Structure 1
């Protein structure tokens, strides 16, 4: 985030300081001190100005995107409770003894959607939950489904809604999810969230290093320095969570996400799936028999049952519980005999696949229930405060005279103070990251281009 200031004291030089703007004809908000002279050594004094400038510019330009991501993220983590309240009629029924067979419930739902094809059935895990019959049908957007909610006791249809994704997000959660991910602007809008996730870890790490390496003053902090202390303390407190959110958020991104998927595939870190192949046999035991067979084999609710996709394919019954401990076991059932033919336990997943599952569910506020939601809300509020405090500190850096609307950025030419043997690996690392995180790379080049243009303009204006 924008904000931390250098404690290095430099003597005024011609063309620098508050009066530089007046001399050069530039707005005071863009006028900067002259480039510092190269210094020998590899100490903190040579690296700090570079990190300070990076933290400042990244915070200024990416701050609005982080603010939007934080606010929409806070809204999203509480959507499970909102769904229960808004869609209570579709999700819940009065408790009663007995239930219709799943095959009968699916037939009732089919009658409601004659142009649809069933892709899955989610039996109600308790006596007060409806059965969800999930369809694809013409005209639906990618990753959207049409779900019919059936009372398992009476067969009454409680409602039908468009749902989103593998998590069966109902319309409200789906709308907030899309707002958080792409601002409802399609693939172009996804660049906003990818930009925020790509720079969040950079801003966080730079801020942590700057804060830990900062010289402390014995006198009581007041004004802008007190705001700086608050900014640094809160930022350090949530730094680990911000790094986690950045890393997991990138897995959903448009461009970096594709690179992460390719990397996971090449390292065999993908999530395994149960083999659905089965001997080609006549007959179909049906939904109810498939569920009963897996229940006897120990597959507990909540589950989703997916039908055979063709001849020689099995029913797949997959647990869909995503709170701790994870319920992600899966079994296959031969549609001809009703026997369980394959089992995949979450406990047998590779460690990388488990970490990926846990990371995604924790990012969404699902893994530890309400505790997870509270933590993410606190972190989101912290991000909002950090961004606002950063802009406030920038405002307070305005010169006392000169009429500038904003404070001056840190001095130019900080990279010249970094020894070559330190700067070279930094540049190589930056190039690799720019390739792997394309939005980060393009935006970094844009920042550098703007910085160069402003620097050239300042040199060309006669004093």
Structure 2
């Protein structure tokens, strides 16, 4: 007959309130029969996983939180640094024809070819004429034109529409300016963030000490009456509960365009037909237009031997798109070759978003195909909206404030976590240490066979879907095994 399994009280030495290392909540251990298997052993496994993940991954999360906090301020910093280019001096009156604005930009900057033109997002914004300049590589030269006077207000080297400052902050957050290798840091953070959050929630909600632990107040608010490590733990956990939904959202959306997990996500979208539909830009008949139309189509090319795009063709494509119902700010892109149509796409990222697209034959002024945002697959919509929410643009200033609060909250949670580790250190004169002892080893040996049979394949599948999580998890296990072996040698 197996011994009785009892839940032990919390203690001040474990960051989650689990049983101390010298005792197991799975009951006494027999020297002959080995540890008693129980689902209570799962808690001890979560305690150890949460501890090691917190200690080893928290530096990556802290860097991601601080760089993300800086990125949330990008719109305000852009307005401060590049206000002369982004804003018009006076608002009012009729705007100049688009062709005249493009001609003014090309007169001031004849280098390269016209890559696209973006209409002003608001009445106080400038028109953006984007030039493809070979010596800039994957960046572009954007010329800013006052739509009311057709005067050029300046130019910037941009990257997919982002100013130099926003591009710098974006690279800092994504890869620490270390290129593709640096992207591993952000993927480590995103891969482990949801694990740490989910494990912390289970441990905090599953604690069993006192009435306060079972009340909503005890879950959502810190215990100000406690002292020492208990007080720090309550602030750490209660703040984590408030941030949990936002942190899980950032983890999921960050993984969707990460280097390795993002590839797996793309494969899932392909398998479920969840990608956004591609706009059909082929002109009817598939051949280049003849006569006068052929000359017009050549000017519509994106550059190269065909020459630069005709400013009048931009205006014609815009007029056709407006007639098809594309309002608000749009981006007009010339065709890649004479057999392709012009593309006009809405670029309004603020809720409610507008992402309709049309392909226009400027020789006839007709819309030859269209993509409507309403017809996107659900997964494509969620992916697109998730990215915009992660970047802080989906709900405007509210989105920025929420992300800033989450970043500051995560920073505080990490600091409290390390403080708990320090508070748990031995302080006796005959036994001191810089930090507390790690939770008990060997918790997996007390798991029920059912948990092992179901859990191991599930973890293997998860590590396949999130390769960086799998590699780092193996690394943690190797480090833990080496530390255990070194400890046994010292003890012997």
Fold agreement, TM-score > 0.5: yes
Compare relative contact order (CA 8 Å, sep 6+) and give the higher one, 1 or 2.
1
Pair 1:223–1:217, CA change in 2 (3 A): farther
Q: Please show how residues 248-397 of structure 1 align to structure 2 within 5 Å.
A: 248-279=253-284, 280-281=288-289, 282=293, 283-284=296-297, 286-397=313-424
Aligned length: 436
Aligned match of 1:129? 125
CA displacement, residues 365-408 of structure 1 (integer Å, 9 cap, x when unaligned): 11111111111111111110110000000001101222211111
CA displacement, residues 2-45 of structure 1 (integer Å, 9 cap, x when unaligned): 973343256579xxxxxxxxxxxxxxxxxxxxx9x9543533x2
Pair 1:38–1:120, CA change in 2 (3 A): farther
SS of equivalent to 2:117: strand
The offset of 1:141, in angstroms, is 4.2
The offset of 1:227, in angstroms, is 1.0
Conservation of the 8 A alpha-carbon contact between 1:3 and 1:391: no
The offset of 1:104, in angstroms, is 2.6
Q: Please show how residues 101-112 of structure 1 align to structure 2 within 5 Å.
A: 101-112=97-108
Conservation of the 8 A alpha-carbon contact between 1:115 and 1:138: no
Q: Please show how residues 70-219 of structure 1 align to structure 2 within 5 Å.
A: 70-93=65-88, 94-142=90-138, 144-165=139-160, 168-217=161-210
- Separation in 1, partners of 2:22, 2:131: 71
Conservation of the 8 A alpha-carbon contact between 2:21 and 2:439: no
Conservation of the 8 A alpha-carbon contact between 1:290 and 1:335: yes
- Separation in 1, partners of 2:144, 2:20: 68
TM-score, normalisation: structure 1: 0.89
Please list every run of 5 or more consecutive structure 1 residues that lacks an aligned counterpart in the other structure.
14-34
- Separation in 2, partners of 1:188, 1:141: 20
- Separation in 2, partners of 1:364, 1:458: 46
Aligned match of 1:431? 460
SS of equivalent to 1:286: helix
- Separation in 1, partners of 2:366, 2:15: 65
Please list every run of 5 or more consecutive structure 2 residues that lacks an aligned counterpart in the other structure.
1-12, 25-30, 213-224, 298-311
Pair 1:3–1:375, CA change in 2 (3 A): farther
Conservation of the 8 A alpha-carbon contact between 1:109 and 1:157: yes
- Separation in 2, partners of 1:174, 1:445: 34
Aligned match of 2:8? none
CA displacement, residues 49-91 of structure 1 (integer Å, 9 cap, x when unaligned): 1000000000101101101111111111221122122211101
Aligned match of 1:25? none
Q: CA RMSD in A?
A: 2.1
- Separation in 2, partners of 1:12, 1:251: 42
TM-score, normalisation: structure 2: 0.84
Conservation of the 8 A alpha-carbon contact between 2:256 and 2:383: no
The offset of 1:331, in angstroms, is 1.2
Conservation of the 8 A alpha-carbon contact between 2:18 and 2:47: no
The offset of 1:126, in angstroms, is 3.9
Pair 1:375–1:12, CA change in 2 (3 A): closer
Conservation of the 8 A alpha-carbon contact between 1:3 and 1:390: no
